[in-house]
Amino acid sequence: MDNTWSLLNSVARQRPIPRPLAPGTVRRIAAFAKPHRASLLTFLALSTASAVLTVATPVLAGHVVDGIVGHARPALVFGLAVLIAGLAVLDAGIGLASRWQSSRIGEGLIFDLRRAVFEHVQRMPVAFFTRTRTGALVSRLNNDVIGAQTALTSTLSGVVTNVIQLVLTLAVMLTLSWPVTVLALVLLPIFVVPARGMGARMAELRREASTHNAAMTTQMTERFSAPGATLVKLFGRPEAEAAEFGYRAARVRDIGVRNAMSARMFLTALSLVSALAQALVYGLGGWLALRGDIAPGTVVSLALLLTRLYTPLTALANARVDVMTALVAFERVFEVLDVNPMITERPDARTVPPGEVSVEFDKVDFAYPSAEQVSLASLEEVTTLDARGGTEVLHGVTFRAEPGQLVALVGSSGAGKSTIASLVPRLYDVSGGAVRLAGIDVRDLSFAALRDTVGVVTQDGHLFHDSIAGNLRFAAPDASDEQLWDTLQRARLEPLVRSLPDGLDTVVGDRGYRLSGGERQRLAIARLLLARPRVVILDEATAHLDSESEAAVQAALAEALHGRTALVIAHRLSTIRAADQILVIEDGRIIERGTHEQLLAAGGRYAQLHHTQFALA
């Protein structure tokens, strides 16, 4: 119980601090709208026509009343009625066309924004994903973009139409009777003052609701995965998990109720003020009509026009809340777009020449980027970012893997082996020195050239929730079924896959959890074999295999690595005895190098690791 309350108190302290919108948000939205200028102009023309028709109907109704009071010819009254009906039909058609245009504009803007965010996130360095909570990031692309889409699409037509209608209505009312119009506007400040405060408050509530929605998405994403659900069950914390989720869900519920009631009270007050203003128009207008200062039809026109005046005022007051909600949603998405990708492709990026490829590290220093360089506090769901970072973890690493050679990296956990491997496919950029493929700095190569040249199998062998064929074709989209079967055969997986009811179409589940650890790893290796890279990096690729599976995969790898340059990280020293060169890494430095026999004879750190491992075995 104490843990639950501590958890809830920690969540409560994460409530966002009120702050204004980021400067330039509106300007950036306008930049996304620029390609839709033609549609915007068409929409503006349709909205203007609709506003003119809306104002024309009350004026014609006034003429009908004047005709009836003045005993005009029936044909005139009938003609005016037909004209009013025709304008109503025309207005309905224009309204549909206007709505279609506004929807196209709104949906187009959201499409552009969503695609821009997705492409930007794809360019982010691995450090971004190691710090960011997945659910928080998904929430930006779902909840926030959808929130912006809803508010923008539904509000755009209303704002433009209501502004035009308001201006035209006010102009016509002043023309018909300025004293009555001025009296009707006496209550206008009651609209304006609350609307300003209401919009700011709604924006702040929107921020807090977005934060809690992102946290719930994160919690569901992590806890509903197979490993996450297993961890919760093993450590027996379902009550604490439910309490955290319940707190956030309750806050979103309470914010929703407050938003709904505040908006309803606001609109109710505005409707009451509109009714009072209409009563004033009938009172003053009726008195002026009895005196003969204005025609009876003018009173009717003014009363009808008043609804055209206060209705857009009410809608615009509510639209301010919608606009602020949209701006906050856009702001949260722009935050992601503003995170620096760090690793970028040069305009004159090169390709790797044909043939075998060497791998060279030349006095490489490396420090992992700090949180403020690659992340956002809101995506990590913390108040302030971790100030640590920038500490050098690799120091002057120099070696060369000749074309076709196998170089092995060994050492203690955390020594820097995986960090070295991650610099070859440019998952990170070096802080000093250079990493070269075929003599070319990897920073000068195109991303496509790196993907085609370097293949990696990590120790977790990640798979998508897709079929076996889908996971394999992620490396080679055009591969035929025959090529897939050939690859599976070389990875010693063909008998298993053929025994499955759906064969290649078998879905492997979230992260491949329907397969055993060894099967997942062999499928990941099969994916590498299908890609046929010229440089292969195996980061503990056989760590999760039993002896039988390891022997099978080692045989497949021996065939696949023939004639290719390989960088292999291994805890099991028995797997790298035949390496052309073994590098012993400790504290980010190469402390020993040589063949298996040379390092054993030297009696140094490698010999110590070898003795310890085989003594335990």
The parent domain of residue 60 ranges over: 24-337
Domain count, the chain: 2
3-state class percentages of the chain: helix first, strand second, coil last, to nearest 5: 65, 10, 25
Q: What is the mean pLDDT of the chain?
A: 79
Give the rounded distance of the alpha carbon of 110 from its chain centre: 12
Q: Is residue 386 part of a domain?
A: no
- 136: nearest Cα among 318, 52, 14, 243: 14
In contact, 333 and 143? CB cutoff 8 Å: no
CATH of the domain at 195: 1.20.1560.10
Question: Strand 589-594 vs strand 581-586: parallel, antiparallel, or unpaired?
Answer: antiparallel
- CA dihedral sign, ordered 91, 93, 96, 102: negative
> By CB neighbour count within 10 A (0-12 exposed, 13-18 middle, 19+ buried), where does 249 fall?
middle
pLDDT tens digits along 480-501: 999 999 888 888 888 888 998 8
Backbone angles phi, psi at 24, to 5 degrees: 90, 5
CATH of the domain at 369: 3.40.50.300
Residues 76 and 106 placed together within one structural domain of the fold: yes
Sheet arrangement for strand 581-586: 454-457, 535-539, 565-569, 406-411, 581-586, 589-594
Q: Mean pLDDT over residues 528-550, rounded?
A: 76
pLDDT tens digits along 578-598: 889 999 999 999 999 999 999
Q: Is residue 398 part of a domain?
A: yes
Q: Mean pLDDT over residues 216-230, rounded?
A: 69
Structure tokens at 450: 């790196």
Residues 312 and 363 placed together within one structural domain of the fold: no
pTM higher than 0.85 for the full model?
no
Residue 523 has pLDDT above 90, yes or no: no
Residues 327 and 401 placed together within one structural domain of the fold: no
Q: What is the pLDDT of residue 6?
A: 42
How far is it, in rounded angstroms, from Cα 534 to Cα 404? 9
Over pLDDT 90: what percentage of the chain? 16
pLDDT tens digits along 150-174: 666 666 667 777 888 888 888 888 8
Residues 488 and 588 placed together within one structural domain of the fold: yes
Residues 311 and 366 placed together within one structural domain of the fold: no
Residue 324 has pLDDT above 90, yes or no: no
Structure tokens at 312: 């857009």
In contact, 466 and 523? CB cutoff 8 Å: no
Residue 352, sorted as left (phi over 0), alpha (psi -120 to 50) or beta, turns out to be beta
Q: What is the pLDDT of residue 401?
A: 93
How far is it, in rounded angstroms, from Cα 305 to Cα 181? 10
Q: What is the pLDDT of residue 397?
A: 95
Q: What is the pLDDT of residue 304?
A: 77
- 366: nearest Cα among 427, 432, 425: 432
Q: What is the pLDDT of residue 549?
A: 63
Q: Is residue 11 part of a domain?
A: no
Residue 413 has pLDDT above 80, yes or no: yes
Q: Mean pLDDT over residues 214-231, rounded?
A: 69
Residues 142 and 214 placed together within one structural domain of the fold: yes
The model's confidence at residue 42, banded by pLDDT at 50, 70 and 90, is confident
Specify the higher pLDDT residue, 313 or 16: 313
Q: What is the pLDDT of residue 8?
A: 37
How far is it, in rounded angstroms, from Cα 330 to Cα 160? 20
Backbone angles phi, psi at 480, to 5 degrees: -80, 165
Residues 165 and 255 placed together within one structural domain of the fold: yes
Q: Is residue 8 part of a domain?
A: no
Q: Is residue 415 part of a domain?
A: yes
Question: Strand 535-539 vs strand 454-457: parallel, antiparallel, or unpaired?
Answer: parallel
The residues pairing with 436 across neighbouring beta strands, listed in sequence order, are: 360, 441
Residues 144 and 213 placed together within one structural domain of the fold: yes
Residue recorded with tokens 């755009």: 156
Specify the higher pLDDT residue, 11 or 423: 423
Residues 326 and 364 placed together within one structural domain of the fold: no
Residue 14 has pLDDT above 50, yes or no: no
Q: Is residue 19 part of a domain?
A: no
Residue 12 has pLDDT above 50, yes or no: no
> Lowest-confidence range among 7-11, 44-48, 390-394?
7-11
Q: What is the pLDDT of residue 378?
A: 74
Residue 229, sorted as left (phi over 0), alpha (psi -120 to 50) or beta, turns out to be alpha
The model's confidence at residue 417, banded by pLDDT at 50, 70 and 90, is very high
Q: Is residue 115 part of a domain?
A: yes
Residues 427 and 290 placed together within one structural domain of the fold: no
DSSP 463: -
pLDDT tens digits along 71-118: 677 788 788 788 888 888 998 898 888 888 877 877 787 788 788 888
Q: Is residue 10 part of a domain?
A: no
Strand (E) or helix (H) holding 457: strand 454-457
Residues 325 and 404 placed together within one structural domain of the fold: no
Residue 544 has pLDDT above 60, yes or no: no
Residues 287 and 424 placed together within one structural domain of the fold: no
Specify the higher pLDDT residue, 211 or 452: 452
Residue 196 has pLDDT above 60, yes or no: no
Q: Mean pLDDT over residues 234-250, rounded?
A: 75
